């Protein structure tokens, strides 16, 4: 072991208890469409408004691979007169929703790593949306974990937040500013999704994942994954965009407008991002003298099944099976930064010491992150 070696020594996954199937989603969406079209019949007839079209469960599964998603609040999402989760505000004295789910995932990750809260030096909350401006959610997480020392900060690189967070954690450990970093992804995607928009209403779900990073020489867990390398790439694009922010109130005309929630040019994203991701993985493993044949697993970001199949095929030079490129989006949908970590959490135990794989994320920014790991224990 080199003293610069860093390992992933544990992971955690917290899944909401409520879930929505495509069929349930489509029933409530179509009820909303019917109501909208009836209420606006005159304007639609006069050509002032365009009628809305219904959604379809078969289309959703075929276009995305998604069969269901977990959410914090099913009732609000499925209420045709609302189509948004009901998540009550909490007083300042109470733990916030996002910190609460982060703490649950972290406890599991620490147990998995054979560590306790007192071993942790730093908390990174890395995800697509922070529930407030400040104080940082991570500092609240640090408090509710009962950490009596250390530091914490929030970071947001949308769907790539987890791999960027892993690199930040690895760098902190290598440069000596921490020995043990916990990187956590509390994703409440149901709250940034336009459930009224047929093109994307099926895409997202809620979840929290956590990763424990430590110096290899300190780690005690039975199973460890050495981080062989991390690589990040960003390239500006508005094809996935959400304009929600603190300046919104400065122009009343835009408050509540469609652009203040997630939106995307799905086809363009598909076409532009897949080749960039495959190229980055190939280049990254090449720089570590690893051939595609030596890659036992690809834990890819979970946004769209066809995207993952195309990326895996480009990397391997042949179609990958679901063991080589595990799929969790059928059950979880797109959980933004957490997707590749859920895949890693659920689909790694069968690999042997010495086996190598890549955790890879991609999404808004554009942003792409790859983390090459080797099972070291």
Using CB under 6 A, list all residues that contact ligand COA: 55-56, 59-60, 63-64, 159, 198-200, 240, 264, 266-267, 269-270, 303-304, 307, 334, 363
Instruction: Tell me whether residue 274 is one of the annotated catalytic residues.
Output: no
* Pick 58 or 218: Cβ nearer ligand COA: 58
Residue 10 buriedness (CB in 10 A; 0-12 / 13-18 / 19+): buried
| Distance (Å) of CA 258 to CA 36, 93, 196, 225, 261 | 16, 33, 10, 42, 6
Residue nearest to ligand COA (CB): 266
Give the shortest CB-235-to-ligand COA separation in angstroms.
Answer: 14
User: What size, in residues, is the chain?
Assistant: 377
Write down the catalytic residue from 127, 159, 180, 274: 159
For residue 80, give the nearest of 43, 60, 52, 42 by alpha carbon: 52
Alpha carbons 200 and 94: distance in angstroms, whole number? 33
Q: In terms of DSSP bridges, do strands 68-71 and 206-215 run parallel, antiparallel, or are they unpaired?
A: unpaired
Q: How far is the CB of 50 from ligand COA (least distance, A)?
A: 12
Q: For residue 194, what are its two tokens?
A: 């336009």
Cβ 17 to ligand COA, closest distance in Å?
25
User: How many CB atoms sit inside 10 A of residue 113's CB?
Assistant: 29
Among the listed residues 181, 231, 216, the one whose alpha carbon sits nearest the alpha carbon of residue 374: 216
Read off φ and ψ for residue 188, nearest 5 degrees: -110, 70
- Taking the complex as a whole, the smallest distance from the CB of residue 59 to ligand COA amounts, in Å, to 4
Q: How far is the CB of 64 from ligand COA (least distance, A)?
A: 4
Of 305, 98, 302, 76, residue with least CA distance to 195: 76
For residue 286, the minimal CB distance to ligand COA (Å) is 24
Catalytic machinery residues = 159
């Amino acid at each position: 072991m080199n003293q610069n070696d860093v390992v992933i020594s544990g992971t955690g996954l917290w899944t909401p208890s409520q879930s929505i199937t495509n069929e349930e989603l489509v029933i409530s969406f179509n009820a909303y469409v019917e109501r909208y079209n009836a209420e606006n019949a005159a304007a639609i007839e006069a050509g002032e408004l365009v009628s809305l079209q219904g959604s379809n469960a078969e289309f959703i599964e075929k276009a995305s691979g998604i069969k269901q998603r977990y959410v914090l609040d099913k009732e609000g999402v499925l209420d045709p007169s609302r189509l948004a989760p009901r998540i009550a505000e909490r007083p300042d004295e109470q733990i916030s929703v996002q910190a609460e789910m982060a703490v649950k995932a972290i406890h599991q990750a620490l147990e998995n790593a054979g560590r306790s809260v007192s071993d942790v030096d730093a908390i990174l909350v890395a995800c697509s949306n922070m529930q407030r401006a400040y104080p940082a959610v991570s500092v609240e997480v640090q408090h509710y974990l009962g950490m009596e020392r250390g530091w914490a900060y929030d970071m947001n690189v949308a769907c790539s937040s987890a791999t960027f967070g892993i690199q930040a954690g690895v760098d902190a450990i290598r440069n000596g500013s921490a020995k043990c970093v916990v990187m956590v992804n509390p994703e409440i995607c149901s709250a940034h999704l336009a459930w009224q928009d047929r093109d994307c209403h099926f895409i997202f779900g809620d979840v929290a994942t956590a990763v424990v990073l430590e110096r290899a020489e300190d780690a005690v867990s039975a199973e460890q994954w050495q981080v062989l390398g991390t690589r990040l790439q960003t390239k500006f694009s508005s094809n996935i965009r959400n304009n929600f922010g603190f300046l919104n109130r400065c122009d009343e005309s835009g408050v509540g407008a469609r652009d203040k929630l997630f939106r995307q040019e799905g086809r363009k994203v598909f076409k532009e991002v897949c080749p960039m991701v495959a190229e980055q993985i190939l280049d990254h493993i090449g720089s570590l003298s690893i051939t595609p044949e030596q890659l036992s697993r690809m834990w890819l970001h979970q946004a769209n099944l066809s995207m993952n199949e195309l990326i895996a095929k480009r990397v391997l030079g042949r179609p990958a099976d679901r063991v080589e490129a595990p799929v969790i989006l059928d059950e979880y949908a797109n959980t933004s930064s957490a997707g590749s970590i859920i895949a890693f959490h659920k689909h790694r135990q069968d690999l042997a010491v010495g086996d190598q794989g890549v955790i890879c994320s991609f999404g808004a920014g554009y942003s792409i992150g790859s983390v090459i790991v080797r099972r070291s224990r």
